[in-house]
Structure 1
Amino acid sequence: MGFSYNDLKKILFMFSPETAHKIAEYFINGAEFVPGLYDKISKECVINDPILEQTIFDKPYINPVGIGGGFDKNATMIEGLKALGFGFLEYGTFTPMPQKGNEKPRLFRLIEEESIQNAMGFNNDGADKIEGRLIKAYPNTIPLWANIGKNKITINETAIHDYIKLVNQFNKFCDAFVINISSPNTPNLRALQEVGFVSELFDALSKLSKKPLILKIAPDLNYDDAIKISTTAVNNGASGIIISNTSVDYSLSKSPNLKNFGGLSGKVIAEKSRQIFKVVADELYGKTTLIACGGIDSPEEVYKRIKMGASLVQIYTGFIFQGPTICRDINLGLKALLRLDGFSHISQAIGIDVKK
């Protein structure tokens, strides 16, 4: 009898979530030191098929599935995650100065709901250390996105300077910037999700950035605000919108392990993320690149978001619950769904369900 990921998951889930993440990081990176292992993993997990290939932001994406921000905060797992078949990777969120993040425990499993609650607080090694890693990792054979945020001690009135510093420093080390003003775990950060600041921020960054700028929004915005903020970002230089970050709508979960702080991700936010994605897509599809995130863990869910207007998708919590073959499994399933509907290329399916 083979040893499955479900067996491994039972062992990993005996540890605290942060410790389990460190163990996973160790194994993902450790494969580098076994000659030929990355190649073997790639042959198993990387799906190469023209039906899934796209050119976005003037870069080739071999498939639409990326790892979302927060999984590889410090850009330590790039080669291992690439071998697991992702079409693009997002490192961060990181900040100009290193910071420890919030007090532990700050990461919780809602196992029966295949969801996570996190209150990490942008814990990261800081821009300088992460730049040192990207000097070796960039450019890469797949696109790398830098997810950037402000330090906790930076007040909102001067927050723009943190984003300016990071764009200037990482212009040479990414294929796109993800602007994170929607995490619920840095005090007052979500207050920056307003038209005035978004306009000022993207106007300033678009003059400095040599790479596309992408805004990531929260699923808890009311629909009018989501449309206004996203439209403002696009009108001031954003090339894409990620919908969405984690949710603080705790009514979504019935888990006994639910806390009254931190952001929810995974299956519990799938419907909420899907709904706000639809609202934004109905307004902005065709005017910008839309990226879906939140509760995505299957080919069927990916296909729904693609038909709703997503050119790319991101996963995080599904990776934790389904394991290292999730990207392969999604891409194989997505190919089958596209062909079942008579499509010869993913572009033919993107946006077919958008309100005309």
Structure 2
Amino acid sequence: MYETLKPLLFTLPPECAHHLAGLGLKLGIKTPLIKNLIKKDFKDEILSQNLLGLNFANPIGIGGGFDKNADLAYGLGYLGFGFLEYGTFTPRPQSGNPRPRLWRIKEHNSLQNAMGFNNEGSAAVEQNIAKYFPLSLPVFANIGKNKTTPNESAINDYIYLTKRFEKLCDGFVINISSPNTPNLRELQNDEFLSTLGKELRKITNNPLVLKIAPDMQPNAAVALCQCAIESGFNAIIINNTSIDYSLYPAAKSIGGLSGELICAKSRELFSAVASEIFGKAVLISCGGISDAREALWRIKHGASLIEIFTALIYKGPAMIENLNKELANLLKIEGFENINEAVGSALKK
């Protein structure tokens, strides 16, 4: 179905196509015939894990930014994901950066986005997710600060959102690595993370997940992750979008790159970080993953979970089930009885 609709969707501006696809998903799950076509029930025990006190039927999740306002979470739960993120959202509504702010790079199955945390604000997000939570799979709230909140007050935004959504998610993803909010990445420092982790731990026992930028030097990334773990974080997502415009000569001078263009860069940083902190926190790999072999490489090098985003736009919803089937098959071919045995197996050797 998606392959039939894709040429039409790709004639539209990317942001318009995204909203149209989201609307189609919301309407589809309300129609029994379409809902049955959408729903994916593939399960294989080889992919199941218990992590962070949560049960994951498979390791494939959707990254933050796809469901900014938590109005797609219920529908996304039917597509075969092992976990979801909603957000990034902020305490107050904000419109994000001026349009156009999202571009396709078709020849590389990639995107460039300069969205800027556009979202309807915490009140609207709360109303949306409260209709469905809890879901049958783990759901994480991806939270960020408002653009107008100065960095010296940023911690207050994260505290506010954690208090408000503590009962409306299974864990929090702390986004301080988007390139599209001015000076946000400056918060990727030990002092802020240490204070933030300790303050959030006073509020919630839910898992705390830090998402880092792919453009950090490996030593700095390792040090930051170690600080986060010591401060109460349970998991690390490696990584967000990249501002390394050398990866694509025709890139805009704003926003972050995602998709296959950043695959090698993401893999390199993940390997560097995992080699130092594997076993100390749950590692989640994101960035340019579009097939089972790449997913398995990340898993064998320390990733317990995998996130996709851009690949979903280019390959469509069927890729989730296909990715899980192919991953399960690869694990069996290599002699693993469960994905847990594969996680970090290359590092253990």
Q: Shared topology, TM-score over 0.5? A: yes
Letter in 1 for 2:24: F
Instruction: Show the counterpart of 1:225.
Output: 220
CA distance in 1, matches of 2:85, 2:35: 20
Q: Is the 8 A contact 1:246 1:264 kept in 2?
A: yes
The answer on 1:11 being equivalent to 2:8 is yes
Q: Deviations over 1:170-223 (max 9, x none)?
A: 000000100000000000000101111111111111221231000000000111
Instruction: Show the counterpart of 2:178.
Output: 183
CA distance in 1, matches of 2:149, 2:174: 16
Aligned with 2:77: secondary structure?
helix
Aligned with 1:134: secondary structure?
helix
Gaps of 5+ in 1: none
Match of residue 324, structure 1, among 317, 331, 342 = 317
Aligned with 2:210: secondary structure?
strand
Report percent identity of matched pairs.
50
Match of residue 269, structure 2, among 262, 265, 276 = 276
CA distance in 2, matches of 1:105, 1:46: 37
Match of residue 73, structure 1, among 51, 68, 71 = 68
Once the 2 structures are TM-superposed, how far is the Cα of residue 7 of structure 1 from its aligned partner?
A: 3.4
Aligned with 1:92: secondary structure?
strand
CA distance in 1, matches of 2:269, 2:187: 19
Match of residue 278, structure 2, among 277, 282, 285 = 285
Q: Is the 8 A contact 2:180 2:255 kept in 1?
A: yes
Instruction: Show the counterpart of 1:128.
Output: 123
Superposition pairs for residues 60-139 of structure 1, below 5 Å? 60-139=55-134
CA distance in 1, matches of 2:9, 2:68: 20
The answer on 1:265 being equivalent to 2:258 is yes
CA distance in 2, matches of 1:123, 1:304: 33
Superposition pairs for residues 189-200 of structure 1, below 5 Å? 189-200=184-195
Superposition pairs for residues 198-213 of structure 1, below 5 Å? 198-213=193-208
Gaps of 5+ in 2: none
Once the 2 structures are TM-superposed, how far is the Cα of residue 124 of structure 1 from its aligned partner?
A: 0.3
Once the 2 structures are TM-superposed, how far is the Cα of residue 36 of structure 1 from its aligned partner?
A: 5.0
Once the 2 structures are TM-superposed, how far is the Cα of residue 136 of structure 1 from its aligned partner?
A: 1.2
Once the 2 structures are TM-superposed, how far is the Cα of residue 78 of structure 1 from its aligned partner?
A: 1.2
Q: Deviations over 1:312-332 (max 9, x none)?
A: 010000000001111101000
Q: Is the 8 A contact 1:46 1:86 kept in 2?
A: no
CA distance in 2, matches of 1:172, 1:37: 31
TM-score, length basis structure 1: 0.96
TM-score, length basis structure 2: 0.98
Aligned residues: 349
CA distance in 2, matches of 1:183, 1:74: 17
Aligned with 1:104: secondary structure?
coil
Aligned with 1:151: secondary structure?
coil
Instruction: Show the counterpart of 2:301.
Output: 308
Once the 2 structures are TM-superposed, how far is the Cα of residue 355 of structure 1 from its aligned partner?
A: 6.3
Letter in 1 for 2:299: I
Q: Is the 8 A contact 2:74 2:135 kept in 1?
A: no
Aligned with 1:319: secondary structure?
helix
Superposition pairs for residues 247-258 of structure 1, below 5 Å? 247-254=242-249, 256=250, 258=251
Q: Is the 8 A contact 1:282 1:355 kept in 2?
A: no
Alignment RMSD = 1.1
